[in-house]
């Protein structure tokens, strides 16, 4: 805590604020606001009711009009504060509104209806978080299934990516064989092909293999990433050959060398690739949309997309779902981020 | 204690990387239980030779035999050797215990025996308190001992050391040298040790193999190499400071050093006029004139070490070692004497001329 406080109040000079301090703090605060602002806005908005969302002017905090139960009226009535006229200052409940005139009652004396022009009153608002947005997601929609689809695809694809890419990287960095450089260059060359170009051929292959409408159709084509192989290879090049030779002298099989020596020592690079892979798979949209046709196989981004109907969009659910979609990536990032700088720095990717 | 035969024999071993030949037909034998040191300047192929013995490099031509058995095509792990790397090559993510146990686990040895062996090695190397530490939390000397421990637990036929002390500071190096010698005495296992430091070679070896540019220059016990170097390279390499060399030619039954005088030797000299060179160690040159073989030089510099002093002379350009401390100052004349029995004579190819018997 003390360290955090010291970091947050650090200055360039000796306790005094230099102009560079002002500039850096301004810049950093601006950057934070720019990046964090929309996310906060999203999180707060996801707690608004549908009425709260279309409120104008928009409010930062989720709010809702106060309602009270009034005898003789079956439903709770919305409350207004009267700003002008005979009843100025009073808080009245609206019974009905016809044109520019509203019929209202005093909750304390509900027998006498009062007529108030609509421009003479303001809504009485209170803070209200619509947690139902989240609750309903789980009940009304098949959110659990989409979440499971996304989690399954992301985790399985990430594990396979780490495994296969690290094996390729191990071979490309630690074994000398004819054609090693061409293979590596070919692999890197695929980076230059935009995914949209191979979308159709990929789909044809997936269709022939019967992988459409199947989570494996999303998993398999993505597990071998040139970026991942490159990242890991560059990192593994820094592992001393002596270690592998020592292990060889220690009777370790090549698989054991890979599994017990190379993999544990490549942890920083693996963490970086894990973060990348999780983000890629979790947010992937185009390819799953092409491959997954049936609603039950949808991942979260596809489900989010299907929430945007042609005529109506249920914004409250859409926002809640977006927040839920953001959480896993954030958590993974928070857990692995300390490896990133180390991993990226030592993988020679600047 | 009965052990497996830890003898080693190299026969005409050649190593080529592509078309570059780096080892040119090396042959020598190592008896079971010997402490052999490969010594030579950097790039002489001593590490390559070691790696060929332990199986990390293939043998292009020739034969490597361990315990009488040809091992050319045997994988490194199956040769029953243990190598201590210059960099120690400790697994950084494993504790000291795991580092030492890794090789045994790979042999699917029962846990109890692994524990017993690691425990014993740790006791022997005084590492018991560090078994649960990672290598990064150890000092250089401790890491060195872990690397040796990792070799010991496997009970190898031959220990191989690749410049194991070169990463330690001077003081530790002397300590580790005695420890290694003790270890060899206790275990009685064959040890092969690579170094470029001739002091390490002289102090530890039963037998020294001097290598230069992929060839064996001389094989023999340390003092034999010191007393009877077979060529100028070995003569210059063994001994510190280096042997002094002076160029000359045969003049009758003596060697004439142009501009300096005539030096009598015990060597069988070739015909008069043949160019030869003489070599004499700094510790064998005497200050002051005696009967014959006297020269006079000018002091160019003095290094006082307290217990002994080195005096560098100009004309002849030689270094002499004087016991104790000296009053000689730069620029003064220094009379010196070359004892005839301490002079080595080399022919134009650098080969030592035999002595008259």
**Higher confidence at residue A350 or residue A218?**
A218
The B-side interface with A (CB below 8 A) comprises 54, 56, 76-77, 81-83, 85-87, 89-93, 102-103, 106-107, 150, 154
Q: Which two tokens stand for residue A261?
A: 């020596």
Nearest CB to B89; choose among A246, A264, A265:
A246
pLDDT band at A348 (very low <50, low <70, confident <90, very high): very low
pLDDT band at A207 (very low <50, low <70, confident <90, very high): very high
8 Å CB contact between B181 and B204: yes
What whole-number percentage of chain B has pLDDT above 70?
A: 99
On the question of pLDDT at A2 being above 80, the answer is: no
> Which residues from B are below 8 Å from A240, CB to CB?
87, 89
By the CB < 8 Å criterion, does A245 face chain B?
yes
Mean pLDDT of B90-100: 93
Q: What is the pLDDT of residue A303?
A: 86
On the question of pLDDT at B1 being above 70, the answer is: no
Q: Is B83 helix (H, G, I), strand (E, B) or coil?
A: strand
Domain ranges of chain A: 133-349
The gap from C-alpha A329 to its chain's centroid, in whole angstroms, comes to 6
The CATH H-level superfamily of A133-349 is MetI-like (1.10.3720.10)
8 Å CB contact between B246 and B285: no
Strand B158-162 and strand B81-84: pairing? Answer: parallel
8 Å CB contact between B103 and B154: yes
Digit-coded pLDDT (tens) for B66-87: 988 899 998 888 888 999 998 8
By the CB < 8 Å criterion, does A18 face chain B?
no
DSSP state of A48: S
Closest CA in chain B for residue A242: B89
pLDDT band at A343 (very low <50, low <70, confident <90, very high): low
Residue A22: CB partners within 8 Å, gap ≥ 6?
none
Digit-coded pLDDT (tens) for A26-63: 999 999 999 999 999 898 888 888 877 887 778 888 88
Digit-coded pLDDT (tens) for A65-113: 888 888 888 888 888 888 887 888 888 888 888 888 888 888 888 888 8
**Per the CB < 8 Å rule, is B83 touching A253?**
no
**Per the CB < 8 Å rule, is B85 touching A264?**
no
Compute the distance between CA of residue B271 and CA of residue A274 in angstroms, rounded to an integer.
80
Digit-coded pLDDT (tens) for B102-117: 999 998 999 999 999 9
Nearest CB to B106; choose among A242, A243, A252:
A252
* Sheet of strand B286-287, all strands in order from the earlier edge strand to the far edge: B286-287, B333-337, B294-304, B308-314, B319-323
What whole-number percentage of chain A has pLDDT above 70?
A: 95
Beta bridge partners of A98: A101
Distance between start and end Cα atoms, chain A: 32
Mean model confidence pLDDT for chain B: 90
**Per the CB < 8 Å rule, is B89 touching A243?**
yes
**Per the CB < 8 Å rule, is B54 touching A249?**
yes
**Per the CB < 8 Å rule, is A261 touching B91?**
yes
8 Å CB contact between A266 and A260: no
Digit-coded pLDDT (tens) for B294-324: 888 889 999 999 999 999 998 888 999 999 8
Q: What is the pLDDT of residue B2?
A: 45
Q: What is the pLDDT of residue A13?
A: 67
Nearest CB to B87; choose among A242, A251, A265:
A242
**Per the CB < 8 Å rule, is B93 touching A253?**
no
**Per the CB < 8 Å rule, is A248 touching B76?**
yes
Compute the distance between CA of residue B71 and CA of residue B48 in angstroms, rounded to an integer.
16
Q: Considering only CA atoms, which of A130, A143, A127, A141 is closest in space to residue A59? A: A127
On the question of pLDDT at A350 being above 70, the answer is: no
pLDDT band at A341 (very low <50, low <70, confident <90, very high): low
On the question of pLDDT at A349 being above 70, the answer is: no
């Amino acid at each position: 805590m003390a360290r955090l406080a010291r970091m947050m109040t650090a200055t360039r000079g000796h306790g005094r604020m230099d102009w560079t301090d002002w500039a850096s703090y301004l810049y950093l605060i601006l950057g934070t606001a720019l990046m964090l602002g929309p996310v906060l806005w999203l999180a707060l908005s996801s707690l608004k009711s549908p009425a709260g969302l279309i409120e104008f002017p928009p409010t930062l905090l989720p709010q809702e009009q106060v309602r009270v139960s009034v005898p003789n009226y079956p439903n709770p009535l919305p409350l207004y504060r009267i700003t002008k006229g005979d009843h100025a200052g009073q808080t009245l409940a609206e019974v009905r509104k016809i044109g520019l005139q509203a019929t209202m009652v005093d909750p304390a004396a509900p027998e006498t209806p009062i007529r108030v022009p609509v421009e003479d009153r303001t809504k009485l608002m209170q803070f209200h978080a619509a947690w139902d947005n989240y609750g309903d997601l789980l009940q009304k929609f098949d959110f659990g299934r989409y979440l499971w689809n996304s989690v399954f695809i992301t985790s399985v694809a990430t594990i396979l990516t780490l495994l296969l890419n690290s094996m390729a990287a191990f071979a490309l960095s630690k074994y000398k064989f004819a054609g090693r450089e061409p293979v590596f260059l070919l692999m890197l060359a695929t980076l230059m092909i935009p995914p949209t170009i191979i979308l159709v051929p990929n789909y044809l292959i997936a269709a022939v293999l019967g992988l459409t409408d199947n989570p494996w159709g999303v998993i398999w084509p993505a597990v071998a990433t040139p970026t991942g192989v490159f990242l890991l290879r560059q990192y593994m090049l820094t592992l001393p050959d002596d270690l592998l030779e020592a292990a060889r002298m220690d009777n370790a099989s090549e698989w054991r060398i890979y599994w017990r020596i190379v993999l544990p020592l490549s942890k920083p690079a693996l963490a970086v690739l894990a973060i990348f892979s999780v983000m890629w798979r979790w947010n992937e949209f185009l390819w799953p949309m092409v491959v997954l046709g049936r609603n039950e196989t949808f991942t979260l981004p596809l489900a989010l997309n299907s929430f945007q109907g042609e005529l109506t969009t249920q914004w409250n659910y859409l926002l809640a779902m977006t927040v839920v979609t953001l959480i896993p990536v954030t958590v993974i990032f928070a857990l692995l981020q300390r490896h990133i700088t180390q991993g990226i720095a030592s993988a020679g990717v600047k | 204690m009965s052990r497996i035969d830890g003898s080693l024999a190299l026969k005409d071993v050649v190593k080529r990387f592509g078309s570059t030949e780096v080892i040119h037909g090396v042959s020598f034998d190592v008896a079971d239980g010997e402490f052999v040191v490969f010594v030579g300047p950097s790039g002489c192929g001593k590490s390559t030779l070691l790696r060929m013995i332990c199986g990390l490099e293939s043998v292009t031509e020739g034969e490597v035999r361990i315990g009488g058995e040809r091992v050319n095509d045997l994988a490194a792990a199956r040769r029953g050797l243990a190598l201590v790397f210059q960099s120690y090559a400790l697994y950084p993510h494993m504790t000291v215990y795991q580092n030492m146990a890794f090789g045994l686990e790979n042999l699917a040895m029962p846990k109890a025996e692994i524990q017993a062996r690691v425990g014993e090695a740790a006791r022997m190397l005084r590492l018991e308190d560090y078994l649960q530490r990672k290598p990064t939390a150890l000092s250089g000397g401790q890491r060195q001992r872990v690397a040796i421990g990792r070799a010991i637990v496997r009970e190898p036929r031959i220990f191989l050391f690749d410049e194991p002390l070169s990463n330690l500071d001077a003081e530790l190096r002397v300590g580790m040298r005695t420890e290694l010698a003790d270890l060899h005495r206790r275990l009685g296992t064959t040890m092969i040790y690579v170094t470029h430091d001739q002091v390490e070679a002289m102090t530890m070896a039963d037998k020294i193999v001097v290598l230069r540019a992929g060839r064996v220059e001389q094989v023999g016990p340390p003092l034999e190499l010191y007393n009877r170097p077979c060529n100028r390279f070995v003569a210059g390499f063994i001994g510190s400071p280096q042997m002094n060399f002076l160029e000359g030619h045969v003049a009758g039954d003596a060697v004439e050093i142009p501009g300096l005088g005539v030096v009598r030797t015990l060597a069988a000299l070739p015909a008069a006029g043949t160019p030869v060179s003489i070599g004499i160690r700094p510790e064998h040159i005497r200050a002051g004139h005696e009967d014959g073989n006297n020269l006079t030089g000018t002091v160019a510099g003095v290094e006082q070490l307290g217990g002994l002093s080195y005096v560098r002379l100009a004309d002849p350009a030689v270094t002499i070692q004087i016991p104790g401390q000296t009053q000689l100052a730069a620029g003064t004349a220094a009379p010196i004497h070359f004892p005839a029995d301490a002079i080595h004579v080399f022919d134009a190819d650098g080969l030592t001329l035999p002595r008259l018997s």
